[in-house]
């Protein structure tokens, strides 16, 4: 037998949300993508960089300096505290690689982003899962969490709830290792943890350009944290982790905050309209701070509703006994609502 590591041979692969082939007429509300295109500045920047293709034979700038400087200015931190990545998945992966030896422990909330566990499994890292209590706090967390990393998704996916900054600060204080606040959806939320960075020396925030910036197809994420953490991430990343087109896309996207706000406002307005309409259909809808809602149908038979939507070429995600429905365009959500009324 080939000497593939035991835990790789036996581990279950992460199953991403179904990506139907381009061109098929699905309404895709299963992976929290943005219904809008990215900023026109992004498209222009990619076109300019691509030109006639003659830059593509040269490697990109290894540290992605322009994007880092732009992100640092946007978040009001020194550039030494920011790193860009090939999706925030790369940030999560490299944090685990930087902090955890085989047998070490990470913590995460159940339910949250299950890919933390897959990436930990690959490194033979133990995973402690904690549920949320009725107040939205982490149940059963020891007074001191001795693991190397605790991953807190805020806003939580799939539930859409956020954690207050007071609570996040308390959690960071209770962690022996680092607290990573995965803010993939923070642009859709009222609050974020950026202002805690200066007071918590073990806090790292990760962001993605996949959701709010409508760039899931480019693979761009970033982390903001203590200089020592950023330096470690810089050592272990692929040296050319972000290609030329993605680098100019990142800079242009982060600079066009007006466009970001415009899209986010539309999505949040649609989220509120859709949530109210579903409650009128007797759905249980958790108030969401993300670009998705977590719902339970009146008969609580989520698999049935999932199947009925699937038959109508509407894709949502079935997670922990409920449905996570991404907020698409207003017209997509009107079609989804009409289907849910019909399904009953
Ligand atoms: C989408 C998502 C990610 C991954 O973001 P990428 O930048 O596309 O890799 C990470 N964390 C959470 C909670 C997400 O929902």
Identify the CA nearest to 181 among candidates 153, 221, 212, 141: 153
Do residue 148 and residue 240 come from a single domain? yes
Is residue 117 assigned to a domain? yes
Low-confidence ranges of the chain (pLDDT < 50): none
Of 229, 256, 283, the position where a domain reaches its end is 256
Looking at the structure of the chain, the number of domains it has is 2
One domain for residues 61 and 147 = yes
Q: Give the ligand 1 atom nearest the CA of 91.
A: 9
Query: Nearest residue CA, atom 11 of ligand 1?
Result: 184
Q: Which atom of ligand 1 is nearest to the CA of 211?
A: 1
Q: Decide which of 224, 256, 288 is a domain's last residue.
A: 256
Q: Is residue 35 part of a domain?
A: no
Please tell me whether residues 13 and 98 are part of one structural domain: no
264 and 179 in one domain?
no
Q: Are residues 308 and 240 in the same domain?
A: no
Residue 212 beta carbon below 6 angstroms from any ligand 1 atom: no
Residue 88 Cα: closest atom of ligand 1? 7
With 0.85 as the threshold, say if the pTM is over it.
yes
Q: How far is the CA of 208 from the centre of ligand 1 (A)?
A: 6
d(CA 214, CA 142): 38
Residue 274 lies in a domain: yes
In short, whether 87's Cβ falls inside 6 Å of ligand 1 is: yes
Strands 27-28 and 314-315: parallel
My answer on whether 310 and 240 are in the same domain is no
**How many A from CA of 292 to the centre of ligand 1?**
13
- Using DSSP's 3-state secondary structure scheme, residue 27 falls into strand
Q: What is the pLDDT of residue 48?
A: 97
CA 46 – ligand 1 centroid, Å? 22
Same-domain status, 248 and 299: no
Whole-number pLDDT of residue 52: 93
Last residue of a domain, one of 256, 284, 306: 256
Ligand 1 test: best mutation among 31, 86, 88, 290, most atoms within 8 Å of CB? 88
DSSP string, 209-256: SSSTTS-TTT--EEEE--HHHHHHHHHHS-TT-S-HHHHHHHHHHHH-
> Is the Cβ atom of 157 under 6 angstroms away from ligand 1?
yes
Ligand 1: nearest atom to the Cα of 210: 8
Distances in whole angstroms, Cα of residue 12 to Cα of each of 119, 290, 310, 313: 11, 28, 25, 28
Does the beta carbon of 88 sit less than 6 angstroms from any atom of ligand 1? yes
Residue nearest to atom 2 of ligand 1 (CA): 184
Q: Do 252 and 262 share a domain, yes or no?
A: no
Mutate to test the pocket of ligand 1, among 89, 149, 188 (most ligand atoms within 8 A of CB): 89
Residue 313 burial by Cβ neighbours in a 10 Å radius (0-12, 13-18, 19+): middle
Distance between CA atoms of residues 229 and 120, nearest Å: 18
pLDDT of residue 21: 86
Give me the CATH number covering residue 47.
3.40.640.10
Smallest Cα–Cα separation from 291: which of 30, 23, 101?
30
Q: What is the pLDDT of residue 321?
A: 94
Evaluate: CB of 182 within 6 angstroms of ligand 1. Answer: yes
Establish whether residue 113 lines the binding site of ligand 1, counting it when its CB lies within 6 angstroms of any ligand atom: yes
Torsion-angle region of 94 (φ positive above 0: left; ψ -120 to 50: alpha; else: beta): alpha
Is 86 within the bounds of a domain? Answer: yes
What is the number of the ligand 1 atom nearest to the C-alpha of 31?
1
Does 304 share its domain with 172?
Answer: no
- Same domain for 51 and 102, yes or no, is yes
Does 230 lie in the same domain as 108? yes
1 lies in some domain: no
Q: What is the share, in percent, of the chain residues with pLDDT greater than 70?
A: 100
- For residue 341, the CA-to-ligand 1 centroid distance in Å is 31
- CB atoms under 10 Å from CB of 28, counted, come to 19
Q: To which residue do tokens 């996916």 refer?
A: 157
Residues 247 and 263 in one domain: no
203: left (phi over 0), alpha (psi -120 to 50) or beta: beta
- Domain that includes residue 46, residue range: 40-256
With respect to residue 68, please indicate whether it lies within any of the assigned structural domains.
Answer: yes
Buried-state track 126-159, b at ≥16 Cβ within 10 A, e below 16: ebbebebeeeeebeebeeebebbbbbbbbbbbbb
CATH code of residue 325 = 3.90.1150.10
Report yes or no on 301 lying in a domain.
yes
């Amino acid at each position: 037998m080939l000497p593939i590591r035991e835990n790789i041979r036996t581990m279950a692969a992460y199953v991403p949300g179904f990506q139907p082939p381009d061109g098929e007429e699905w309404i895709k509300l299963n992976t929290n993508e943005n219904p809008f295109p990215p900023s026109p500045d992004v498209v222009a920047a990619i076109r300019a960089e691509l030109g006639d293709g003659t830059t593509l034979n040269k490697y990109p700038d290894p540290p992605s300096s322009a994007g880092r400087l732009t992100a640092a200015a946007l978040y009001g931190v020194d550039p030494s505290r920011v790193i860009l990545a090939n999706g925030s998945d790369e940030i999560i992966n490299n944090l685990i690689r930087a902090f955890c030896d085989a047998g070490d422990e990470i913590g995460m909330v159940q339910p949250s982003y299950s890919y933390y566990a897959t990436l930990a499994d690959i490194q033979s890292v133990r995973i402690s899962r904690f549920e949320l209590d009725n107040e939205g706090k982490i149940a059963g967390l020891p007074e001191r969490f001795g693991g190397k990393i605790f991953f807190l998704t805020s806003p939580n996916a799939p539930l859409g709830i956020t954690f207050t900054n007071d609570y996040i600060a308390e959690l960071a204080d209770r962690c022996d290792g680092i607290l990573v606040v995965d803010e993939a959806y923070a642009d859709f939320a009222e609050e974020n943890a950026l202002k805690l960075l200066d007071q918590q020396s073990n806090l790292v925030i990760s962001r993605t350009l996949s959701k709010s910036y409508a760039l899931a197809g480019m693979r761009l994420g970033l982390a903001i944290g203590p200089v020592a953490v950023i330096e470690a991430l810089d050592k272990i990343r692929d040296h050319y982790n972000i290609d030329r087109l993605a680098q100019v896309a990142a800079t242009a996207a982060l600079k066009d905050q007006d466009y970001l706000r415009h899209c986010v406002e539309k999505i949040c307005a649609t989220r509120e309209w859709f949530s109210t309409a579903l409650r009128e259909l007797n759905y249980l809808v958790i108030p969401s701070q993300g670009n998705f809602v977590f719902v339970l149908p009146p008969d609580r038979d989520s698999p049935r509703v999932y199947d009925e939507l699937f038959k109508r070429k509407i894709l949502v995600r079935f997670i922990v006994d409920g449905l996570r429905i991404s907020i698409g365009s207003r017209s997509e959500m009107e079609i989804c609502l009409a289907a849910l009324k019909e399904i009953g």
